[in-house]
């Protein structure tokens, strides 16, 4: 089974949370397979937020690599690794995260959630 790749970014603002999540194909083109611009009208812990996003948008039926820029503390990361043993969590920064940061800002501006799945022309 092929590994799936995701990038996640979120930020808290004014008692709300905006999150950007995308599934992508690694490589030169970084083709996007799915993106979600998620607006949450509540404040929750980093752990609960990440679990909620994974449960809602990440295909956890196979191996997954989840990249996040959040400075999630080691304690939270250890709990996530225990709950999702098939997900490899990695921190990234810089230009790789620009798209999901834009999705985050977009969700906070729109105050609603938008999810888009790209049509897959190839048959695996």
The pLDDT of residue 92 is above 90: no
Is residue 118 included in any domain, yes or no? Answer: no
Q: Which residue has the tokens 């996007």?
A: 32
Is residue 104 included in any domain, yes or no? Answer: yes
Is residue 122 included in any domain, yes or no? Answer: no
The pLDDT of residue 70 is above 80: no
Query: 6-42 pLDDT, tens per residue?
Result: 999 999 998 999 999 999 999 888 899 999 999 999 8
Query: 33-65 pLDDT, tens per residue?
Result: 999 999 999 888 999 999 999 999 999 889 999
Q: Count the domains in the chain.
A: 1
Is residue 9 included in any domain, yes or no? Answer: yes
What CATH number is given to the structural domain containing 107? 3.30.420.10
Q: What is the predicted pLDDT for the residue at 69?
A: 77
Is residue 47 included in any domain, yes or no? Answer: yes
């Amino acid at each position: 089974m092929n590994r799936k790749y995701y990038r996640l970014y979120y930020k808290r603002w004014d008692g709300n949370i905006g999150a950007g999540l995308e599934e992508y194909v690694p490589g030169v083109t970084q083709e996007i397979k799915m993106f979600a611009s998620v607006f949450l009208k509540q404040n929750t812990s980093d752990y609960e937020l990440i679990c909620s996003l994974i449960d809602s948008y990440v295909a956890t039926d196979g191996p997954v690599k989840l990249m996040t820029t959040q400075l999630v503390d080691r304690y939270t990361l250890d709990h996530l690794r225990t709950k999702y043993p098939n997900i490899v969590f990695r921190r990234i920064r810089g230009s790789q995260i620009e798209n999901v940061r834009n999705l985050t800002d977009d969700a906070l501006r729109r105050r609603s959630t938008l999810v888009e799945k790209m049509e897959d022309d190839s048959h695996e």
